[in-house]
Amino acid sequence: MSQQLDFLQRSLDLRAARAEVIAGNIANADTPGYKAVDFDFAKALEAQTSSQDGSLGMTLTNGRHMAGHGLQPAGASLQYRSAVQRSIDGNSVDMDVERSAFTDNALKYQSTLTFLGRRISGLMDAIKGGQ
């Protein structure tokens, strides 16, 4: 039972992190030279569930980087999204792709919440004796 709830919690954490990554892409749609990023949810979830550490820390790759508390989950490496149509200023954000990804992620987040709520409700009914 604990493993199932832990799995759902990690899934929700990754969905929330992906929503922030996509929102960052949308926020930078007009930033010259910005490259859209995303991560493979399935691979990240597999890495999260196979490791004992579900920390959401950041890795410093350059001495000039500031330590931060970002939402790049362990096992979820951000990858550049391939541009559907290149823009003159080098920005690779396609708003149609981003909106679609954001909507898909939000629906899956909501369905995970619904599933978790029903699971907890069923457990509460079992604890109360089905009253």
Contact 102, 22 (CB under 8 A): yes
Would the pLDDT of 5 be above 90? no
Would the pLDDT of 98 be above 80? yes
Contact 47, 74 (CB under 8 A): yes
Would the pLDDT of 65 be above 50? yes
Token digits of residue 43:
């691979």
Is the pTM higher than 0.85? The answer reads no
For 25-56, the pLDDT digits (tens) are 999 999 999 999 999 999 999 888 886 554 44
* Distance of alpha carbon 52 from alpha carbon 63, whole angstroms: 28
pLDDT at 19: 96
* Distance of alpha carbon 117 from alpha carbon 113, whole angstroms: 6
